[in-house]
Amino acid sequence: MNSIVTRLAVVTLALATLYAGQGFAAEPPRAEQDARIQRAVFADGRLWLLGSGGRLSSIAEGGERTDVTTPDPVMELFVMDGHATVVTCPQQALAHITAADQWTLRRRVGDDWETVADIATRGEQFVAATSDILLTDSRMIDLTGGSPSETALTLSQPARPKPAKPDEGFRLGGSWLLTDDAVIDLTESRPWQAAPSSPSSIPAPARLTPLKLRPVGTVLVTPKHVYVGYNAGEWGGGLQRIDRTTGTVTDIEDVDGDLCGGNLNPACDPVNGIATIPWKPDCIAVAIGLIHMAAQGRIVEVCDASVRQLYQHVIQAPTDQTPDGRTRIHWFAQTTAFFGLQRQGEDLLAMGHDGLYRIGPGDRAQPIPLPEFKNVSGAGVSFDISGLVLVLTTANQRHSLSGSTPILVSR
């Protein structure tokens, strides 16, 4: 009986991992999706929002939310040369009905979309894009030189799925695959390509890719590296670093023991923000945050392969007094979950679920209360803080039991 229960749990986790890997599946627009903001940027004096199902909209400060039409559904949104820029894909390919031949980069100029580049898909999955690079599961495409140039990605230490050891039992917090003769632990490997955009002679579970096929939470491009942070909610996340010269992909992690131990555990830690550290320019700070019934998170420092905790805010459990004078503790202590991070002058500005935090050297941290949010046609937005826009999203509910969480947008 225990074996059956274990296998059913494994199948459930594997199916959830498959679902998480399809972050841009097309969906018909529904009213409840209005607050599921996947990306938010500020360009051309407006806030631009990418919602579920490829819906693109914009809001001017003090104005209403306006839907913006595009030639094809939008997969990604970022700023290029000061303009809102999108990556689009034909509707049929976005829904995995037909194979996609190419992705198209389009930049907003006035009221029109200008084609920047067409990128051949080669049967790969799209991962993320910024003004500098576009990432597939196996290539890094440089967008800065006029015409795109590409580098093949390779893992620094190629990993292979491995059967769980007999004495390990069923380990929570990871990704699993059930086969006829083994339970495969995929946590230290790459999830398989759930819905390839073109036929492949290699069976999907064996088609390992350098970049993880998980929802991307954030990307940071530096002169030497590209950092990719993943947010799969309760299924974890993790961080990878790409060498821009060689294309070598390295997993950055700090795992201590089993079941979510360590400062940066890919099985349990969604990464929602990455920024260079002003007082340590060769290092980056990483924002980790998850609300799955309870909040947990931290800011960690990454210097090469070294990972240490930079800041954590403990939220003490509420207490009260019983009639007989005893102290009663409700729930348990939590930590602030961080959903955004950026460099601001000589400090770091972190977006926590309970407020903003200005973090400086020497363990200095100043909390800043959240402003009031205005409901603009289903989107919770605040323009009250100079140089910033805050946006509420329920997108994380797809992967965890959370409510609205904030997005930090520079302007």
CA atoms lying within 13 Å on the CB side of residue 260:
12
Q: What is the pLDDT of residue 228?
A: 98
Q: Given CA atoms 231, 237, 241, 246 in this order, what sign does their dihedral have?
A: negative
Helix residue ranges per DSSP H, 45-121: 91-94
CB 218 within 8 A of CB 129: no
Counting Cβ atoms within 10 Å, is residue 364 exposed (0-12), middle (13-18) or buried (19+)? exposed
Q: 19: Cβ–Cβ under 8 A, 6 or more apart, which residues?
A: none
Q: What is the pLDDT of residue 341?
A: 96
Q: 229: Cβ–Cβ under 8 A, 6 or more apart, which residues?
A: 216, 217, 218, 219, 220, 237, 238, 239, 271, 272, 273, 274, 286
The whole-angstrom separation of Cα 308 and Cα 300 is 6
Phi/psi at 165 (nearest 5 deg)? -70, 150
* CATH code assigned to 7-162+170-410: 2.130.10
CA atoms lying within 13 Å on the CB side of residue 103:
25
Give residue for tokens 């069923």: 170
The whole-angstrom separation of Cα 185 and Cα 162 is 6
The whole-angstrom separation of Cα 214 and Cα 345 is 32
**H or E stretch covering 13:** helix 2-20
10-residue stretch averages of pLDDT, the chain, 411 residues long: 39 38 37 69 96 89 94 94 94 63 94 94 92 95 88 78 44 43 41 37 56 92 97 91 97 87 93 96 96 88 95 80 71 85 95 94 90 91 94 69 79 90
CB 183 within 8 A of CB 166: no
**Residue (of 284, 332, 279) closest to 305 by Cα position:** 284
Within the chain, what is the greatest distance between any pair of CA atoms? 76
pTM for this entry: 0.78
Q: What is the pLDDT of residue 21?
A: 36
CB 312 within 8 A of CB 299: yes
245 bridge partner residues: none
Helix residue ranges per DSSP H, 21-139: 91-94
